[in-house]
A = this chain, B = another copy of it.
Amino acid sequence: MYAVVKKRRDVGADISTVNMPQIRKDEVLVKVKAASICGTDVEIWNWNEWAQNRLKKIPFIIGHELAGEVVEIGGDVTAVQEGDMVSAETHIVDGTCYQCRTDRMHICQNMEILGVDRDGVFTEYVALPERNAWKNDPNLDPAIASLQEPLGNAVQTVLPKDHTEDIAGKNVAVLGCGPIGLMAIAVLKTLGAAKVFATAGGRNKVRMELAEKIGADMVLNAREEGKNLVEIVRDATDGNGVDVALEMSGAALAVRQAFEMLTPGGRVSLLGILERPLEFDLNEAVIFRAATVYGIHGRRMFQTWYQVKGLLSKPDFRSKIVSIITHRLPMKDVARGMELINSKQAGKVLLEPGWK
């Protein structure tokens, strides 16, 4: 079968033919119907510093955001059947470490990740442990179905602690309008946030327009507003500042602004990964402000999946999410997809079967 294979410790990846995967007794074989490109895939493609340090075993098939159809099941599998439409929870966990046994399996001590530590989904068929196969509504568009995993990250960022954080009727800022930031805006508007402020670095106009279309009440260009940005948000919230700030850009400036625009006693979720350590005034940012801060890494398994399922049952929400897909390409054009994202001209890029 065809696959996008990372073969060399260098930029790019190759479209190659590889053997079909053999499934174990507790695995299922999934025929890929749609796969979307994640920022992690771009980092692996670009072969940045993170990728150079993180990736141990090469070659491997890249990609992990999936929608597909089960075409074969292992002998011990009971929860999924042939013909089921599924998506993949990318995190493969041991189930017995301290984190797994205390409702935090998304940060398992012995995590394997699809498309990073084992063969991924930019291919024709992929083997998946039964427990990682999430059954979709058969009527759900595969394009949307493949977005459920990053959507789960957005939900986790909005609702980090046992999914019970408070958004209803509150003012919220989203710093960073990448795909997960855009999804977070959609989630916030659907969960009854009062005002949603979106900030963006200013270079990717496509994403700023999407933020507005999806429902942000105010979209602020960080480059243009400069030092006024925090003041603008404060003025628009009776001087109180936002109740919740979601940092989804990884920019040091945005991290600082997230705290500056926060009302005392408010909450910040940190999802964006920074390029390097930052100079940080813990006193003013966190301590004097009595802030609560959540580090966001992965998504709770499987509460976020159920929440995403519930949200996707709402037509308004589905249409917001689908609007984030700006490009649909055949798999063979994966390089073009990477280029679109690198050049800041895309929202989310979807790959569909098509190898020749």
Contacts and interface: CB of A to CB of B under 8 A. Distances in A.
B99 A265 contact: yes
Given A282-B278, A286-B270, A287-B296, A191 B192 contact: yes
A147 interface: no
Contact of A279 (B95, B96, B279): B279
Nearest to A190: B192
B296 A293 contact: no
A238 B301 CA distance: 19
A310 interface: yes
A289 interface: yes
Nearest to A96: B79
A274 interface: yes
B163 A162 contact: no
A63 B249 CA distance: 45
Most-contacted residue by chain B among A192, A287, A289, A291 (CB, 10 A)? A192
State the oligomeric state as a number of copies: 4
Interface string A166-194: 11111100000000000000010011111
Contact of A263 (B98, B279, B289, B298): B98
Given A191-B192, A292-B295, A313-B194, A169 B98 contact: no
A90 to B, nearest CB: 16
Contact of A194 (B170, B297, B305, B310): B310
A280 B293 CA distance: 14
A297 B289 CA distance: 7
Contacts of A166: 159, 162-164
Interface residues of A, number: 81
A283 interface: yes
Most-contacted residue by chain B among A171, A273, A292 (CB, 10 A)? A292
A95 B129 CA distance: 13
Contacts of A293: 286, 291-295
A130 B300 CA distance: 24
Given A103-B103, A274-B283, A169 B302 contact: no
Contacts of A305: 101
Nearest to A273: B283
Contacts of A155: 168-169
Given A280-B278, A282-B280, A307-B170, A265 B107 contact: yes
Given A161-B292, A191-B192, A280-B282, 20 more contacts: A78-B96, A98-B263, A99-B264, A101-B305, A101-B306, A102-B306, A103-B103, A104-B264, A107-B265, A109-B264, A159-B168, A163-B168, A164-B166, A168-B307, A169-B309, A171-B310, A192-B317, A280-B280, A290-B298, A292-B292
Interface of A: 78-79, 95-96, 98-99, 101-104, 106-107, 109, 130-131, 155, 159-171, 187, 190-195, 238, 240, 255, 263-265, 270-271, 273-274, 277-283, 285-298, 300-303, 305-311, 313-314, 317
